[in-house]
Amino acid sequence: MLKHFLSLDSLRKRALSKAEPGALHDYLSTPLTSKRTQCEELSIVSLDLETTGLDPTKDKILSFGLVEMQHMTIKLETARHQLISIEDEIPEASAVIHQITDDQAATGVPLDEALPELLQRLAGKVMLVHYSAIEQNFISAACQKLFGAPFVIPIIDTLVLARRIFEHRNHTIQTGDLRLFNLRPRYNLPNYKAHNALSDAVATAELFLAMASDMVPQPSQCQLRRFLTR
Amino acid sequence: MEIELVEIRDFLAKRPPFDALPEEQLNQLPKSLEIRYLRRGNLFPPGDATQGYIYILRSGAIELRDEEDNLVEKLGEGGIYTTDCQLIDFGRATHGLAAEDSLIYQLPCDLLKVLRKSEPAFDRHFAESIRDRLKQAVRTLKDNADESPIAQMTVEVSDLIKKSPITIDINCSIRQAAQLMSEKNVSSVMVMEQQKLAGIITDRDLRKRCIAAGISTDQLVSQIMTTNLETIQKNTMAIQALMTMTRLHVHHLPVLQGDTVVGMLTATDLARHQTTNSAFLASDIRKAATVEDLAIVSERLPDVQFQLANSNAAALHVGEAISCITDALTARLIEMAEAELGPPPVPYAWLCAGSQARHEQTSHSDQDNALLIADEMKPEHEAYFEALAKKVSDGLNACGYVYCPGNAMATNPKWRQTLRIWRKYFNTWINKPEPMALMLSSIFFDLRAVYGNMEMFDELRTDILNKTRGNGIFTAFMAANALQHRPPLGFFRTFVLIHGGAHDDTFDIKHRGIVPITDIARVFALDQGLTPVNTTERLEAAAETKVLSREMGENLVDAMEFIASIRIYHQAEQIRKGITPDNYLSPEELSDLERRHLKDAFRVIQEMQDAMENRYQGGRFL
C-alpha cells in the first residue's frame, strides 16, 4: 500500500485534512515527535488496550491503561486506567483474559467520551505498545468512525524489537517466546500476577527500558529512530 | 487510588519501613514512584538523577563499596538505599554499581520527608540509631515472653523473696529464736554476729538439735545453728537456687547482696514458682542412682531448652538454666564416682571450661573440663583422679555431652594437674603467647569450679588475673585472636554475604556471631582483671572501666542477646522437628526484620573489632 512509502508526518497531514473538527483534529495538529529526538528527551506513552476480540471492525475496546515515561524513567503519577462501557455483552472468552465483567464495564464511560482524553494524552508523544496491531488498529478504527480520519503516531513495539533481537542473535523463536510475560524474565524483570490494561502498560514500559539499555548501552548516543517500529 | 498499581503497593506493603504506613498512605505511595532500569555494570545511584531519591530495589542486585573498593553491602530485592536523602545508612559506602540488571523504584526525598512527618511509626525506621533499634529488638523479644511456668524458671531469686530478712543476734537464746519464729510465722531465722551472717536456725534444728537432743532452750542460738552456710546472691536464677537446694538437701538458703543479708529463700518459695517439669528435673538428677538414670534425665534437656525458647525467655537466662542443669549433672556424676572410689586422697576441684563456665551453654554441647588438685598430691594418688576423671567424663558422654574433640578434658593427663602446674601453664600461656596457647585460651581462660574445693580455684583465678591485668603484650595477642572470627556483612537473598564479597548458603551463628563477642569480652576481662566469666557480665563490668565505653558495652550486650536469641529459636525449631540442634542458620529462616536486626548486631561487632584492632594493634602479632 502507498501509505507505507509515505513519511509518518505526511500521513499525519493527510489525516488532518480529512479529520472533522474535534479531538482528532486537535491531536493531528500537534507535530509528531521527530525520529531524531535524543532518547533522553523522549516523551513516551506506554499504552495497553483490553478488547473483546482481535477484529477492530467487530470487536470493542473495554479499557485502556497508560503510563508516561520521560528521561527513560517511568512516572507512575501519570498512570491512568479507564474502563469503557459497551452496549453488547462481553464475550466470555475475552472476559476470562481481561477479567472485566459486564458490571464493571457498566461503570466505565462510553468510547466517544474516553477517546478524546486518550488522544490528548498521546499528542506529540511516542506510543509504546507490545504488539502494536491491536492499539493502532482499534484506535484508528474508532477515530475513523467518530472523526472520519485515521490515527497516526510514531510507535515503538516491544514485540517487534524482541523479534529483531532474537533474529539478530540467530535465536529460533518458539511459540510464546515473544509474549510480554515470557520476555520479561529474560531481562530480570519481576512477574506481575495482575493482568489489566494499566499493569500491562507498566510491564511493557519496564520491558522497553530493559531492552533499550541492552540495545544501546550509551543512552546519550541514541535517537528515537533506533527503536521506532513505525 | 488506581487499584491497578496494587502489585507495587503489595510489594512495598510487606517491607519495612513501608509496612509501617497506614493503608491509605500505602495506597497512595505507588503513584509517587518512578521506575528506572539499570543495566549490569552501571553506576548506582544513577549519575543523572536531578534530585535526591530514596531507591527501592524491585529486582536485580546492587553492590555498594567503600573507598578501597571493598564490598560494604549488597542489596537484593526489597533493598533500600537512603543515603541520598541525607540519611546515613551505609556510612562507609562511597560508590556502587548494579551487579545485575536491576529494576529500581525511586521516591523523591521531599516526599519521604512529608511521609516521615505525618507517620511517626514510619519515621522511627529512619530516626533510630543502630543502638536504639537493637534495644528495641531485644525488648520486643522479651515483651513477648508469656507467663508460662517455664518462663518463671528464669526469674531471679530476689523476685521470689517477699519478706524482709528475719534475723536474731548470736547472743540470744534458743527460746528467743523460737518465739521470734512463731511471731513472724517463719520456718527459719538468720543468726547475725555484728551485721554478718553467722548461721541459721530452722524448725528442723529446733526439733532435732534442741528438743530431741535435750538441750535447754536457755542456751545460746549458736549452740544449735547451722554454720558453714551455702548462700546465694539475690540475682541468682531461680533454677540455680533450686539446683543448689536439691544438691545440698536443704530447704533454706540465705540470700545476699554482696555481703549484706537481704532475705531467705525457702523451698516453699521456689515450689510456688517452679514448674513441675524443672522441679522434677532437679530432683530426678538428685535421685539418680546410676549413670543410666542420669542419661535418661538428661534426655529431657532439649525439651527444657525448647520450652525455655518457646516461652521467650531471654537467651542469657536460657544459657544460664542449661549450664546450671549441666553443673548439677556433673556434680551428681562426681558424687557417684566418689561413692565408688572412696573419698579423695587430697582436695581437688572439678573445673568446667568454655560455654558451661560462661553460663552460656545450649543443650548438649561438647564437654570441656579439667581437674585442679591440691599440691600435696603424691604420685600414688594419680590413679584415683584418673579413675574419677574417666568415670565423670564417660558419664557426661553418656548424658549427651560428647567428648571434646580437642581432648580438653580431665581424662587428658595434661589437664589433670596440681595447682602448681596449672599456675605454670597459665604463666607460660600469658608470658609466651603462641598460637597453640591462643587456641587453648578461648577454652581455659573461661574457667569455673563446679564441684570440690572452691577456694583452691579462687586462688588460681586470682593468680591468673593478676598476671593478665594490664599485660600489654598478652592482651595484644588475645585481641588479635579476637579478630579472627569476623561477622558476616549481612544477607543477600538466600545468601550470607561475607567479607570479600563471597556468598554462603548458611552461616555459623556461633562462630560468626557469638564467638566474636565472647572473644571481645574475654580480652577486656583479662586486660582489666575482671572476675566474671559470663560474657554479658564481663561486658557490663568492662563498661565500668576505661577500656569500654558504656554505650558500646550496652550495644555489645544487646547484640549478644539478640544473636543468642536467634540461635536459640533456630535450635528450638530443630528440636521441634526432631533434628539434632546445630549452629548453621540459613538466611531463609529469618524474617526481613530479623535480618535487619542481625545486620545491626553484626555492625556493632565489626565496629568493636575495628576499634580493638586500633587499640591493641591486634593485627600485628598474627
Q: Where are the beta strands (DSSP E) in B421-515?
A: 447-452, 490-492, 495-497, 503-504, 507-508
CATH architecture of A2-226: 2-Layer Sandwich (3.30)
Q: Which CATH number goes with the domain that contains B37?
A: 2.60.120.10
Q: What is the pLDDT of residue B130?
A: 67
**B502 falls in which pLDDT band (50, 70, 90)?**
low
Asked if the model's pLDDT at residue B500 lies above 70, the reply is: no
CA–CA gap between residue B279 and residue B272 (Å, rounded): 11
**Checking phi first, is residue B97 left (phi over 0); if not, alpha (psi -120 to 50) or beta?**
beta
Q: Is A218 on the interface with B (CB under 8 A)?
A: no
pLDDT digits (tens, 9 = 90+) for B412-441: 999 999 999 999 999 988 888 776 666 676
CA–CA gap between residue B598 and residue B76 (Å, rounded): 16
Cβ separation of A77 and B58 shorter than 8 Å? no
Interface of A with B in 49-68 (CB under 8 A): 65
Interface of B with A in 87-146 (CB under 8 A): 100-103, 106
Domain count, chain B: 4
Candidates B547, B557, B543; CA nearest to B527 is: B547
Interface of A with B in 117-146 (CB under 8 A): none
Q: What is the pLDDT of residue B275?
A: 52
Q: What is the pLDDT of residue B621?
A: 45
> Looking at beta carbons, which residues of chain B come within 8 Å of A196?
4
Candidates A222, A52, A34, A202; CA nearest to A134 is: A52
Sign of the Cα pseudo-torsion (B348, B354, B360, B365, in order):
negative
Question: Residue A36: what residue type?
Answer: R
Same domain as B399, residue B372: yes
Mode of pairing for the β-strands spanning B196-202 and B188-193: antiparallel
Cβ separation of A192 and B7 shorter than 8 Å? yes
Question: Residue A173: what residue type?
Answer: I
Cell 521506532: give the residue.
Answer: A228
Give the residue-averaged pLDDT of B218-244: 84
Same domain as B167, residue B113: no
**B456 falls in which pLDDT band (50, 70, 90)?**
very high
Same domain as B110, residue B35: yes
**Which residue of A lies nearest to B100 if distances are taken between CA atoms?**
A188
Give the residue-averaged pLDDT of A147-160: 95
Candidates B274, B277, B172, B160; CA nearest to B218 is: B172
Q: What percent of chain B has pLDDT over 90?
A: 39
Same domain as B361, residue B246: no
Which range among B230-239, B294-303, B330-339 has the greatest average pLDDT? B330-339
Same domain as B326, residue B454: yes
Q: Is A206 on the interface with B (CB under 8 A)?
A: yes
Three-state DSSP state, B64? strand
Q: Is A77 on the interface with B (CB under 8 A)?
A: yes
Give the residue-averaged pLDDT of B81-85: 83
Asked if the model's pLDDT at residue B584 lies above 80, the reply is: yes
Asked if B36 contacts A72 with a C-beta cutoff of 8 angstroms, the reply is yes
Give the residue-averaged pLDDT of B18-44: 91
**B1 falls in which pLDDT band (50, 70, 90)?**
very low
Give, as one character, the DSSP assignment of residue B199. E
Q: What is the pLDDT of residue B620?
A: 47
Q: What is the pLDDT of residue B374?
A: 97
**Which residue of A lies nearest to B34 if distances are taken between CA atoms?**
A75
CA neighbours within 13 Å on the CB side: how many for B264? 21
Same domain as B483, residue B410: no
| Domain regions of chain A by residue span | 2-226
Question: Residue B81: what residue type?
Answer: Y
Cβ separation of A199 and B7 shorter than 8 Å? yes
- Out of A40, A187, A199, the one facing B4 most closely (by C-beta) is A199
Cis peptide before B413 (omega within 30 of 0): no
Asked if A51 contacts A60 with a C-beta cutoff of 8 angstroms, the reply is yes
**B91 falls in which pLDDT band (50, 70, 90)?**
low
> Which domain covers residue B547, as residue numbers?
472-621
Three-state DSSP state, B214? coil
Asked if A44 contacts A156 with a C-beta cutoff of 8 angstroms, the reply is yes
Same domain as B481, residue B391: no
| Beta bridge partner(s), residue A82 | A64
Cell 587453648: give the residue.
Answer: B440
Which range among A218-222, B121-125, B127-131 has the greatest average pLDDT? B121-125
Spatial strand order of the sheet with B348-353 comes to B416-418, B369-373, B348-353, B447-452
Q: What is the pLDDT of residue B414?
A: 94
CA–CA gap between residue B330 and residue B328 (Å, rounded): 5
Residue of A46, A76, A187, A206 best to disrupt the B interface, most CBs of B under 10 A: A76
Mode of pairing for the β-strands spanning B416-418 and B80-81: unpaired
Compute the CA torsion angle B384, B390, B391, B397 (nearest 10 deg): 170
Taking the CA of residue A6 and the nearest CA in chain B, the distance in Å comes to 35
Q: What is the CA A227 to chain-centroid distance, rounded? A: 14
- Out of B35, B59, B103, the one facing A76 most closely (by C-beta) is B35
Asked if A76 contacts B5 with a C-beta cutoff of 8 angstroms, the reply is yes
Q: What is the pLDDT of residue B251?
A: 81
Q: Is A181 on the interface with B (CB under 8 A)?
A: no
- Out of A189, A194, A209, the one facing B6 most closely (by C-beta) is A194
> Looking at beta carbons, which residues of chain A come within 8 Å of B8?
76
Q: What is the pLDDT of residue B436?
A: 65
CA–CA gap between residue B157 and residue B253 (Å, rounded): 10
Cβ separation of A196 and B4 shorter than 8 Å? yes
- Out of B2, B37, B48, the one facing A198 most closely (by C-beta) is B2
Cβ separation of B31 and A72 shorter than 8 Å? no
Compute the radius of gyration of chain A from its Cα atoms.
17
Report phi then psi at B77, rounded to 5: -50, 130
**Checking phi first, is residue A124 left (phi over 0); if not, alpha (psi -120 to 50) or beta?**
left
DSSP string, B91-150: TT--EEEESS-EEEEEEEHHHHHHHHHH-HHHHHHHH--HHHHHHHHHHHHHHT----HH
**A184 falls in which pLDDT band (50, 70, 90)?**
very high
Asked if the model's pLDDT at residue A218 lies above 70, the reply is: yes
Asked if the model's pLDDT at residue B141 lies above 80, the reply is: no
Taking the CA of residue A69 and the nearest CA in chain B, the distance in Å comes to 9
Same domain as B493, residue B435: no
**B72 falls in which pLDDT band (50, 70, 90)?**
confident
Interface of A with B in 80-99 (CB under 8 A): 80-81
Give the residue-averaged pLDDT of B50-54: 86
- Residue B372 lies inside a defined structural domain of this protein: yes
Taking the CA of residue A23 and the nearest CA in chain B, the distance in Å comes to 25
Asked if the model's pLDDT at residue B87 lies above 90, the reply is: no
Same domain as B377, residue B327: yes
- Residue B298 lies inside a defined structural domain of this protein: no
Asked if B572 contacts B479 with a C-beta cutoff of 8 angstroms, the reply is no
The mean predicted confidence, pLDDT, of chain B is: 85
- Residue B311 lies inside a defined structural domain of this protein: no
Cβ separation of B4 and A194 shorter than 8 Å? yes
Asked if the model's pLDDT at residue B270 lies above 80, the reply is: no
Cβ separation of A209 and B59 shorter than 8 Å? no
Which are the contacts of B293, defined by CB distance < 8 A and separation ≥ 6? B284, B287
**Which residue of B lies nearest to A190 if distances are taken between CA atoms?**
B59
Asked if the model's pLDDT at residue B2 lies above 50, the reply is: no
| Beta bridge partner(s), residue B107 | B54
Cβ separation of A76 and B37 shorter than 8 Å? no
DSSP string, A173-186: PPTTTTSHHHHGGG
- Residue B308 lies inside a defined structural domain of this protein: no
Report phi then psi at B11, rounded to 5: -60, -45
Q: Is A188 on the interface with B (CB under 8 A)?
A: yes
Give the residue-averaged pLDDT of A159-173: 90
* B471 CB neighbour count, 10 Å cutoff: 18
Q: What is the pLDDT of residue B273?
A: 60
| Helical (H) or strand (E) element with B233 | strand B232-233
Q: What is the pLDDT of residue B142?
A: 57
Candidates B438, B443, B547, B534; CA nearest to B483 is: B438
- Chains A, B: CB contacts within 8 A come to 78
**Where does B249-381 have alpha helices with state H?**
267-273, 276-287, 291-298, 301-310, 315-341, 354-357
Q: What is the pLDDT of residue A98?
A: 65
> Looking at beta carbons, which residues of chain B come within 8 Å of A193?
7
Cell 535526591: give the residue.
Answer: B52
C-alpha cell at B134: 537493637
Question: Residue B232: what residue type?
Answer: I
Asked if the model's pLDDT at residue B485 lies above 80, the reply is: yes
**Complex ipTM value:** 0.92
Cβ separation of B4 and A81 shorter than 8 Å? yes
Which range among A171-175, B15-19, B100-104 has the greatest average pLDDT? B100-104
pLDDT digits (tens, 9 = 90+) for A54-112: 899 889 999 999 999 998 999 999 999 999 988 776 676 666 666 677 777 677 899 99
pLDDT digits (tens, 9 = 90+) for B146-202: 444 344 455 678 877 777 888 999 999 999 999 999 888 888 899 999 888 999 998
Residue of B2, B7, B37 best to disrupt the A interface, most CBs of A under 10 A: B37
